[in-house]
A = this chain, B = another copy of it.
Amino acid sequence: MTTPTHSSRPSDRPLGVAAIGYAFMGKAHSNAWRNVASFFDVPAFEQKVLVGRDATQVADAAAKYGWAESATDWRSILERDDIDIVDICAPGWMHAEIAIAALEAGKHVLVEKPLANTIAEAEAMTVAAAAARGKGVQSMIGFNYRRVPALALAKELIAEGRLGTIRHIRAAYLQDWLADAESPMTWRLRKETAGSGALGDIASHAIDQVLYLLGDAVTEVTGRLHTFVSSRPGPDGPEDVTVDDAAWATLTLASGAIASVEVSRMATGQKNSLKLEIYGDKGSLLFDLEALNELGFLDATLPVREQGFRRILVNEPEHPYLEAWWPQGHIIGWEHTFTHQIRDFLTSISAGEAPSPSFEEGLNVQHILAAVEESAAAKSSLIQLNATTQTSIEGA
């Protein structure tokens, strides 16, 4: 089979996009594709095909979400010359197969997190991504919270040294959708189908933020996992919950900073609260995803008399991504992070540059998650990681 390459596209043809999946993430990604060009200068593209298993449902979803066509076989789109980009919103266990095939077919690939359900699959994907990258075919993993303007601003402030030496980070991701012990069994609560529980689902975001914001690598990990409700009602009676409801970890970073990570699906009253606190010797930052337009910043270089955490409403044209939207004080929502992600992905493709976060960065997060599990299994003992093999966050 001849591998078609991206360069075969005539420069004046819009990029053809196909997306796979139309559930929660597919809806969010579709929304981003539908709107990105209304706000940002991006290379021309077309929402060509939405792929799903059920022909009727995917046709309906395609019509609703702005896709020209629908299809039921993801392999079919890899053979089409008019498809340049494949956006994978399918379940985690399908990621590796689709992504590797798409990359080999010369398609740029965006894949939702987690990169894959197993380290082996994730590693195979990074091999494919590296090979494709050599041919100008790009790939990216969808840690969309990197595109929250407040967090992008946080990264800028840290990179500029405004926090000085960072000592420790408190990262938590708290939800409560499993707080009710009578809430029924689902595939998300079985290890076979979901891989892990809160750890893979939301600790992955929290850990990615630590790596992203600090541009650092992890050298040591301790972890604990716990399932508070170990049996839930299934259709035929009680079933065992085989993933964690909550997880705790500490991460030592190569810089010497220490991060605590705590995630839960049982934190009654916390709906989607990714909380970050970053403490440096010159300043500190606070963030909560439930108020994602805001960043707390304390500048410890000011006179003590006037120090305090500022609530920066990250909504000015001076802030990352914001010039494209509305006047100051007109806040944006959660979904906008996906629009920013698509914008950055398209811009990288257009510039022939590797977008970040790369598959390698996704794999890196998965190694850390695996170390948390390993530690939890070994009575929380410290697990060593090799920082030097970790991909630099900054690309390179």
Contacts and interface: CB of A to CB of B under 8 A. Distances in A.
Interface string A247-263: 01010000010101010
A340 to B, nearest CB: 13
Contacts of A24: 326-327
Contacts of A260: 248, 260, 262
Contacts of A334: 326, 330-332
How many copies make up the complex? 4
Interface in A150-199: 153, 157, 165, 167-168, 170, 172, 175-177, 179-181
Interface stretch (A28-36, A96-104, A235-243): A28-36
A145 B245 CA distance: 31
A323 interface: no
A168 B66 CA distance: 43
A263 B224 CA distance: 18
A391 interface: no
Nearest to A268: B284
A224 B293 CA distance: 34
Nearest to A157: B306
A308 B306 contact: no
B333 A168 contact: no
A292 to B, nearest CB: 6
A154 to B, nearest CB: 11
Contacts of A305: 153, 312, 316, 318-319
A11 to B, nearest CB: 19
Contacts of A327: 24, 177, 272
A73 interface: no
B180 A307 contact: no
Contact of A298 (B256, B269, B290, B300): B269
Nearest to A289: B329
Interface string A280-308: 11111000011111010111100111111
Contact of A304 (B165, B316, B330, B382): B316
A279 interface: yes
A335 B330 contact: yes
Nearest to A24: B327
A37 interface: yes
A282 B181 CA distance: 11
B331 A281 contact: no
Contacts of A181: 165, 281
A7 interface: no
23 contacts: A153-B305, A167-B228, A167-B245, A168-B267, A170-B172, A176-B279, A224-B250, A268-B280, A268-B284, A269-B279, A269-B300, A272-B327, A290-B313, A290-B329, A292-B331, A295-B308, A308-B311, A310-B310, A330-B334, A331-B334, A333-B335, A380-B380, A380-B382
Interface of A: 24, 27-28, 30-31, 34-35, 37-38, 64-66, 153, 157, 165, 167-168, 170, 172, 175-177, 179-181, 222, 224, 226, 228, 245-246, 248, 250, 256, 258, 260, 262, 264, 266-273, 277, 279-284, 289-293, 295, 297-300, 303-313, 315-316, 318-319, 325-336, 375, 378-382
